[in-house]
Amino acid sequence: MIDLGRKSVLGVNISAVDYEAAVARVVAAAQAGKRCAVSALAVHGVMTGALDEQQRTRLNSLDMLVPDGQPVRWALRILHGIRLADRVYGPELTLRVMAAASREKLPVFLYGSSGEVLENLSRRLLARFPDLEIAGAEPSRFGRISAAEQRVIAGRIKASGARIVFVGLGCPRQEVWLYEHLAYLPLPTLAVGAAFDFHAGSLPQAPAGMQRFGLEWLYRLLQEPRRLWRRYLKLNPLFLWYLCWQYLAGDVSREAAGVEPEHLGYA
């Protein structure tokens, strides 16, 4: 089990952990009834914080930001000399936490995506983990909501008896959701990106070889070029430029402090 604390990658405090440590922290928080807000960040997620001070504040306020993308794992090695054996991939972390929740009898809640995806996801999860208890599932409204509506949603989640919440709203909406629910949900909340679509069978995952060499972005770009070209063809080179800048400067952390983020209220 590896947990070497949080290290700055472009000002975003990435948790230098492996799967075992990440799952253990989530399960311990669920058993204790404490919060543990987790997001799995690839290059796009890191860049949302590197380029926006308010988003950086939100990200660094979460409890654990695991290195979802291989380039983020490599950045930990380049900048801080940390050699993790593998990344902590959001879809894989989802399955490992689900397995632990099944073993430990910890009910889960699924929030985000569409009703159809949630239905398929729930069916597949129960087929894979027969002892898993899904306390509830609620699709995204694909828009913004008020703070009062947020509290109502949080109330429904708590009333369900869930001990762990999985959030699939896409980056950066899901990280904003986690941040704005820190005070409302004293239990683990995990932003897991496309994991809902992958495990529901709605979206194919990149081949293992492409994932291993950090080319998952290329696979997804070829699948959805119109939606993703700006994200990957602009942000990936910018990530490399900022990474070189931080490396040559020694430690350009650019921590956000004292910023009061606006309420966005995604749902």
Q: How remote is the C-alpha of 10 from its chain's centroid?
A: 17
How far, CA to CA in Å, does 241 sit from each of 74, 79, 121, 129, 229? 14, 13, 38, 43, 18
State whether residue 49 is helix, strand or coil.
helix
Q: Which residue has the higher pLDDT, 61 or 219?
A: 61
- Using alpha carbons only, give the angle 91, 116, 190 rounded to the nearest 5 degrees: 30
Residue 261, pLDDT > 50, answer: no
CB atoms near residue 113 (< 10 Å) = 25
Q: Which residue has the higher pLDDT, 82 or 223?
A: 82
Third-level CATH fold of 3-193 = Rossmann fold (3.40.50)
Total-model pTM: 0.87
Q: Give the whole-angstrom CA distance, residue 150 versus residue 144.
A: 10
Structure-token pair, residue 127? 């087929």
Residue 266, pLDDT > 60, answer: no
pLDDT of the residue at 147? 80
Confidence of residue 264 (pLDDT cuts 50, 70, 90): low
pLDDT in tens, 135-156: 999 998 777 778 888 888 999 9
pLDDT in tens, 4-16: 999 999 999 999 9
What is the average per-residue pLDDT within 50-54? 95
Least confident of 29-38, 158-167, 234-243: 234-243
Q: Which of 169, 150, 192 is nearest to 37 (CA)?
A: 192
Residue type at position 81: G
pLDDT of the residue at 178? 96
pLDDT of the residue at 256? 35
| Mean pLDDT, the chain, integer | 88
Domain locations in the chain? 3-193
pLDDT in tens, 187-242: 999 999 889 999 998 777 777 777 777 777 676 667 777 776 676 678 888 999 99
For the beta sheet containing 36-41, the strands, ordered from the edge strand earlier in sequence to the opposite edge, are: 64-67, 36-41, 188-191, 164-168, 108-112, 134-138
Share of the chain above pLDDT 90, in %: 69
Residue 260, pLDDT > 50, answer: no
Helical packing angle, 70-80 and 225-249, nearest 10°: 10
Residue 259, pLDDT > 70, answer: no
CB atoms near residue 115 (< 10 Å) = 11
Where do the DSSP E strands lie in the chain? Answer: 3-9, 12-17, 36-41, 64-67, 108-112, 134-138, 164-168, 188-191
What is the average per-residue pLDDT within 22-50? 96
Q: Give the whole-angstrom CA distance, residue 194 versus residue 48.
A: 17
